[in-house]
Amino acid sequence: MSYNLLKGKKGIIFGALDSNSIAWKTAERVHEEGGQFVLTNAPVAMRMGQINELAEKTGSQIIPADATSVEDLQNLVEKSMEILGGKIDFVLHSIGMSINVRKGKHYTDQNYEWTQKGTDVSAMSFHKVMQTLYKADAMNEWGSIVALSYMAAQRVFPDYNDMADNKAYLESIARSFGYFFGRDKKVRVNTISQSPTPTTAGSGVKGFDGFIAYADKMSPLGNATALDCANYTVSLFSDLTKRVTLQNLYNDGGFSNMGVSDAVMATFTGEE
C-alpha cells in the first residue's frame, strides 16, 4: 500500500546487497512512496550482490563508494546531487562488518587490526557520511538521516562480538552529530535498533538462528522483519516525523522492554 509519503523527496541509500537486506527492502518501499534515490555500496559488495537488479527496478543510478573513504563520499554526494537535481532529503546508512566475527575470532581474542577496520566500516563511516553532507551543505532543511543499529549496543549478546561496540559507537555518533545537524541545518538524525534479521550481515553471527527464535518468543509482537524496518524508515524519512531526532528507536516487537516471556519460560519448565 502506498501513501505517497516521499513524493518529490530525493536521497542516498547505502548498503543494498541482495533482496534480504534491509537497505534493499527500504529502497523498494521508498520507490513505492514516490521517493527517488541513488544507490551506493562498496565496490567489493557490488560484485557480490545483485544491486543492478534493484537499480533497474527502481529507476535508480548506482555510484560505487567505499564509505570509509572521504574522497569517495565527496564524489558520491556531488554526483548524487547532479543526478537528483538538487539537495538531498534522506539518507540510509545500512553498513556493518566485523572481520573478527567473519573469521571466528572470539571477543576476548581480537585481532585489533581487524577490530579497527570493522569500527571504521560500521561506525566511523557514519560520521564520515554526515560530515561530508554537512560540509557540502547537501541536505535540505527537515531532511532525515537514519542508520541501522542493534540492541547489543546496550546489552550483552556474547556472540555479537565487537559489532556490539561498533553499534554503541554508531548510536553515539548519531546523537552527537545529530545535535549539530539539527541546530545548523534542521536535519534530523536517528538510529533504528532492529530485531535480529536474517540478512547476509546478520547470518554471519554464531548461533544466529537460535537467537532469532529466542527473540521471537520473547517479543509480544514477534520479530520485526526487514520489510517492517523498511516501513519504519519510510516514516522517519517522511514529513510526519519532523521533530524526531537524536533517538535510538526500537523496531523489535517489544523485545527491548521484556524481562522474560511466558513462551521463553515454558521452554525451561518443560511446559511447551
Structure confidence by residue, pLDDT tens digits, 32-58: 999 999 999 999 888 877 999 999 999
**Entry pTM:** 0.97
* Residue 3 appears among annotated catalytic residues: no
Write out the three cell numbers for 129: 557520511
Write out the three cell numbers for 116: 579497527
Mean pLDDT of the chain: 95
Q: What is the mean pLDDT of residues 260-270?
A: 92
167 is in an annotated binding site: yes
Evaluate whether 49 touches 17 at the Cβ level (below 8 Å): yes
User: CA 63 to CA 75: how far, in whole Å?
Assistant: 9
What is the amino acid identity at position 92? L
Task: Using the predicted structure, report yes or no on whether residue 205 has a pLDDT greater than 80.
Answer: no
Question: How much is the pLDDT for 44?
Answer: 85
User: CA 168 to CA 124: how far, in whole Å?
Assistant: 11
135 is in an annotated binding site: no
User: CA 132 to CA 137: how far, in whole Å?
Assistant: 8
Q: Which of 150, 214, 232, 250 is catalytic?
A: 150
Structure confidence by residue, pLDDT tens digits, 57-111: 999 999 999 999 999 999 999 999 999 999 999 999 999 999 999 999 999 999 9
Structure confidence by residue, pLDDT tens digits, 234-250: 999 999 999 999 999 99
Evaluate whether 226 touches 25 at the Cβ level (below 8 Å): yes
Residue 198: band (very low, low, confident or very high) from pLDDT cuts 50, 70, 90: confident
Phi/psi at 251 (5° precision):
-120, 75
User: Residue 81: which residues within 8 A CB-CB, separation 6 or more?
Assistant: 87, 88, 136, 138
Task: Using the predicted structure, report yes or no on whether residue 153 has a pLDDT greater than 90.
Answer: yes
Q: What is the mean pLDDT of residues 149-176?
A: 97
* Residue 112 appears among annotated catalytic residues: no
Helix/strand/coil for 39: strand
Write out the three cell numbers for 53: 537488479
Q: Which of 160, 214, 232, 250 is catalytic?
A: 160
Q: What is the mean pLDDT of residues 199-217?
A: 82
Q: How far is CA 21 from the centre of its chain?
A: 10
Domains (range + CATH), the chain = 10-207+224-258 (3.40.50.720)
15 is in an annotated binding site: yes
